[in-house]
A and B are shown apart, each in its own frame.
Chain A
Amino acid sequence: MTTFDVAAIRADFPILGRTVRDGRRLVYLDSGATSQKPFQVLDAERDFYEKHNAAVHRGAHQIAEEATDAYEAARANIAHFVGAQANDIVFTKNATEAINLVSYTFLNATLKSLRGKDLPKGAQRFVLAEGDEIVVTEMEHHANLVPWQELADKTGAVLRWIGLTDDGRLDYDSAKLIIGSRTKVVAFTHQSNLLGTVNHVAQLVELAKSVNAVTVLDACQSVPHMAVDVVDLGVDFMAWSGHKMLGPLGIGCLWGRAELLNAMPPFITGGSMIETVSMEKTTFAAPPARFEAGVPQAAQVVGLSAAVDYLNAIGMGNVAAHERHLTQLAITELAAIPGVRIIGPTDTSNRGSAVSFVVDGVHPHDVGQILDEQGIAVRVGHHCAWPVCRRYSVPATTRATFYIYNDDSEVHALASAVRDAQKFFGV
């Protein structure tokens, strides 16, 4: 058992008090898609709008100063949460945009280089030549796959990927063969959103560093669920989303190594990201402002900072321990049902709380429908990770993901509803 007070936590999440499908208690097991929000986050956003709303980094009036202070204080708090310096955190719309910011850095540097334009010092690392290689893994969700496919398509670079083992782990032996002298970037997930697998970041970083490749870590499923220190991880970039860690929708984060951020050409351009502008030419602001064109999402950032406070108060070690307990329970209960197969590791070492499974004879959509009828919200489909489904020869899966507000009774409800689905479909 965990020492965690789930009941007290649940009381902070208003949505968990509602019912669905004719009065059923909501059993929310879809936090891997998006987490629910506590009062503290909702209040922080509302407080910003009620008292301090103004366009950040513009204007000299009092509430503009307050809004700017709130935004930058939140940046510092969020940076501290992942062991980073404030100025190395760039806010984006979501993690997808954060990853695109990096992939477009490669494209933009390559295009400027082809036209003989001067590049900032250090930007040569982002210039791709035909035949250079981009390495990803077969367990990426589309957000960390499609941007790299597109980059390869536009530059003539070659996309390669590290395969998976039958038990849902990364094939590190093949990684050694795939990461080589032509590798310019290695982009990989910290934790698979479908399999739950947590990857050995250090091993991949070591391989990438040995060939001077840039590393990009997709931390969407790790930062919300475990203590993450970006300096310890040793990667060059890390992207994650706010809404999966109790924060508001519409806010993502990119952390980048300072010397790389300094060397990067801009991605989205416009106001806020400039230093000087004339009709002929613009020079750009220093990071992070260079990558935050337009009026920033101050209320979302303030909300995310409140989410960080909320998680810090619980302690990320406790969050991880609670989820490990629920994950173990879910794997045990689901695996005990004849005809149910877990897709992903069945031991909880180096494993997060995404538990995907298939039920023989019942399509995941139909499993999801039966669960929904009982108030249980899970994700069904390919989870924006279609190649992973293909790798394990399943068209789709049903996926339960757990977070701080889930308890044992919800795992029991899940297992019981899966049995009901089998009965309903006569398998």
Chain B
Amino acid sequence: MKLEHMYQDIILDHYKHPHGKGLAEDFNAEVHHVNPTCGDEITLRVTIDPDDHKKLIVSYDNQGCSISQASASILFDQLNGKTFAEGEAAVDHIVAMLQRAVEPDEDILGDGIALEGVAQYPARVKCALLSWMAWKDAAIQALGTENSTQNESN
């Protein structure tokens, strides 16, 4: 049954027990993304690791359907503490996977490969991508603030 292919146990587990939910107090950038057709929302913050400026710390709070919630939980597992290049590669990969353009790569997406079944339901793809797009937006803004701070201090 196709439905079980989308709602795999691993997805439902992330939905019921999300990883890393809750916003960090310090952050370099915050974004708020919504899915205007259904009202799913995420607030996502990116903090540049003070010990290693290449690493981006992720925190978030969200509400929405099982797919959007599980996807954010998986994003936290995969991208928290990763570099922009690593994160961007993961975003590109999940987008391609949901367009059925690539075979899912567990090394890149971890549990995110279980979101593959969402590709069968075009109306749900945006649910799955909401947090990943928010991360990319926030990461770019965070790095931008760091660059401008550096420019100012220069």
Contacts and interface: CB of A to CB of B under 8 A. Distances in A.
Interface string B94-119: 00000000000000000000000000
Interface string B10-44: 00100000000000000000000000011111000
B68 to A, nearest CB: 8
Given A380-B38, A396-B38, A363 B3 contact: no
Contacts of B127: 365
A365 B124 contact: yes
Contacts of A12: none
Given A380-B38, A381-B38, A425-B12, A363 B7 contact: no
A389 interface: yes
Contact of A395 (B39, B67, B121): B39
A365 B7 CA distance: 12
A370 B65 contact: no
A399 interface: no
A363 B16 CA distance: 12
A389 B39 contact: yes
Interface string A386-427: 100100000110000000000000000000000000001110
Instruction: Give the 9 A-B residue pairs with the shortest CB-CB distance, closest first.
Output: A365-B65, A381-B38, A363-B65, A396-B39, A382-B39, A373-B3, A366-B66, A395-B39, A366-B65
Contacts, number: 47
A19 to B, nearest CB: 15
A381 B39 contact: yes
A369 interface: yes
A288 interface: no
Contacts of A389: 39
| Count class of interface residues, chain A | 10 to 19
24 contacts: A363-B64, A363-B65, A365-B40, A365-B64, A365-B65, A365-B67, A365-B124, A366-B7, A366-B67, A369-B121, A369-B124, A373-B1, A373-B2, A373-B3, A380-B38, A382-B38, A395-B39, A395-B40, A395-B41, A396-B39, A424-B3, A424-B7, A425-B12, A426-B12
Interface of B: 1-3, 6-7, 12, 37-41, 63-67, 69, 121, 124, 127
Contacts of B40: 365, 395
Nearest to A21: B2
Counting chain B CB atoms within 10 Å of each CB, which of A363, A364, A380, A395 scores highest? A363
Contacts of B41: 395
A381 B63 CA distance: 13
Contacts of A386: 39
A369 B67 CA distance: 11
A364 B65 CA distance: 7
Nearest to B2: A373
B94 to A, nearest CB: 19
Nearest to B6: A369
Contact of A363 (B2, B37, B66, B121): B66
B38 A365 contact: yes
B66 A425 contact: yes
A361 B6 CA distance: 18
Contacts of B3: 369-370, 373, 424
Interface in A327-360: none
